[in-house]
Structure 1
Amino acid sequence: MTNPTDDFYRHLREWFTVFMPRQRGVSPHTITACRHTWNMLLGYVAETRGVPLEHVTFSIINRACIIEFLDHMRATRSWTATTYNQRLACIRSFFRYAATAEPILAIHLADVNGVPQLKTTATPSVHYLTTGAVTALLAAPDHATKTGLRDQFFMILMYDVAARDAEMLALTVGDIDLRRLTVDLVGKGAKPRRLPITSETAAHYRRYTEVFHHDPTADQPLFFTIHGHRKTRMSDDNVGRFVRHHASTARESCTEIPEKVHPHMLRHSRAMHLYQAGMPLALITEWLGHTDPETTLIYAHADTEMKRRALAKTTVGTASPPAVPMWHDRDDIIRRLCGLTT
C-alpha cells in the first residue's frame, strides 16, 4: 500500500514539472504564481494544524482548511476578491489533475469544488504610463553604449507590440520580418500571433542586430546574455532591473513617471493608448493574445475611472500593509517537498 503523503507530493511534483509546463504549455510566470499559492497554503497548514509539512495529505487539505486559509489571507494580506478567486482556481486545478491521474482522488476534488468563489464587483486596476512618460522612459538609455542600445530596443519593441515579458524573452532573430514589418510572438498556452511593427521600430532593430548579431541565424535568441561563451536567453530579472533603472533616470526630467515601474506596464500602456486612440476592444483582445475577451475590458473600465477621478479631483489614502507571514513566498518549501532541489 502506498503512503498517502507520498501520493500527495508525487502528484504535486508531477503537476508542477510535467503537466503544467509540458502538457498544458503553461507560462513560467503562471507556474511561479501557483508555486507561491501552494507555499502559502502548506505554510498555513503547518502553522495552524500542527502538521509537519512532510506529513501533509489530501485529506488534510480539505474544504474547511482551504476556506480558513483563504479567509485568513484576506484578513492578513488584504487579498481582493480577484486574488482570492485566482488562488482558489490554482488549488482546484491541482485537485482536478490529481483526480484525473488517479480517479480514487475524485472525492477530494468534489470536496474542494464546494469552496465558493467570491463575487467580484470592483474592476482590477491597470497601472500604465502616459504617452509622455513612455517617451521619457524610451529615451532614457544611452544608446551610444551596447547595454543602452539593447535596453532601449527591448523597451521600444515591447511597447510597440504590447508583448508580455516572457514573449519578448522567447523571441529569436528570425521572428522579426523586416520586409513585412511584422513580429511573431508565442503567447500563453503556446498560442502564436503575428503583429505589425512600425518602421521606426524596424530601424532600431537594424541598429541592434548590427551590434549584437554580427552573423545571425534565425534560431538565435534575440535578447541574450553570455554564459560559458554561449548566448543564452536573457532573464526576466535582468529586464526588471534595467527597466527600473531607466525609469529612475527618466523620472528626473519627467514627473509623470511613477515611483514603481515594471516591464508589464509597457504592455498595459500600449493597450491603453491603443484604446484611447479608438482601436476596438475586440481588436485589442487579438493584439494582446487574450483568450477571454472579458479580460480586455479592464482598459475600458480603467479609462472611465481615470476620467471620473479627474472630475472628482479626490485623493484616496491607502492603509499600511499587514505584516508578511514568515512562510510567505517560501519557494524552498515546494522545491524541497517535491524533490525539485538540485
Structure 2
Amino acid sequence: MKAIITGGAGFIGSNMVDFLLEKGIKVKVVDNFISGKMNFIEHNLKNPNFEYEKIDMKDADKLKESFSGDFDIVFHFAANADVKGGTKYPTADLHENVITISNVLEAMRVNDIRKIVFSSTGSIYGEPEIFPTPENAPFPIQTSMYGAAKLYGEGLIQSYCEGFGMQAWIYRFVSVLGERYTHGVVFSFYQQLMQQKDKDVKELVFLSDGTPLKSYHYVGDCVEGIWTGLNKSNDKINIFNLGTDEDIMVKDIADIIVDYLGLKGKVEYKFGKNSRGWIGDSPHIRLDISKLQKFGWNPKLSIKEAIIRTVDYLKKNEWVINENYFREKN
C-alpha cells in the first residue's frame, strides 16, 4: 500500500504516519506546516518508506501534481480545527475545510486514487437529543462553522463515491488526547498553570461553568480504530463514530490535572457564566461507538488515563505550550 496523509505533520496525522510506517506501508505527508510541526515527523526522515511535501492544499494544481505516483489511498486529516474561532473568522472553515476537501477529491479523481479516509467530527451532531449518539441519529441544526464544514465534506465525499466509483471511510471523532496534542481544554488548563509557576495560589479560568459533559479518547486508540474500520468494513461508504464509552465534566478534567500535578488546594477555579464555552460549543458530547466495537476494536485507555498521558507529554515537551497553534486568519 502507498498512502498519502494530508495534515500528516499535525497531531492525529503524525501519529497515523508512525502507525502506518510501522506496518511497512509507504507514506507521503502533504502539509502546509502552519499548524503541523516538523518536530512531529522528523524522526521518520531517514525511513525509505517516508516522504513529505510542503503544499498549500488550496492550490488545486499543485495538489494534483503532488498526488501523482500510483498511490492507493488518501488519509485526509488536514483541517482548520479551531471550532471556537468560527464566529471570529467566519470564512476560515470555508477556505481550510471546504475548499481543501474539494481539491483533495479532485486530485484523487485525476490520479485515479479510489480510497479515502476522512477525519470528520462529532460536532456534526450539533446538540443531539440521543445519548450516546449513534451514526444514524437525525442531524439537528448545525451549531458551529467547523461542524457544518465537516458535514459538507462528508456529503461531497459520498457524492464522489457515487459519481466516480470511490470508496470512503468516514470517522466522527470526539476530542482526541495524547502525544503531540497541541490545543484543547487539557492544553489550556496545563498552559495556564505553567504560566503561573511562581504564584503560591494559581487561578484556572474556565470558558464555561464547568458543567459540560465531554467525551475524549486517546490518539493511539484513535489510529487503531481507524485501521480496524478500514480493514474490517468494505462498503462503498463506511461511517463510524470514534470515542469512548465515557463522558466527563470539564470541572473534573481540571481536578484530575490539578491533583496529578500535586497542586490540590493551590488552585482557584474561575468559572464562566453558562454551560457553553463559546458559540457552537455543545454542552454534552458522547458518541455511540458500538458499530466499530462489533469489529473487535475497543479503546484501551480511559479518559482519565488519556488526560494523564497528555499531561506527561506536555511536561516533557514544554516547547509545545509556547506555540501559537491557531494562527490569525483572513
Scaled by the length of structure 1, the TM-score of the pair is 0.23
Tell me which protein shows more helix as a share of its residues.
1
Structure showing greater radius of gyration is 1
Tell me which protein shows more strand as a share of its residues.
2
Larger relative contact order (C-alpha < 8 A, sep ≥ 6)? Answer: 1
Scaled by the length of structure 2, the TM-score of the pair is 0.24
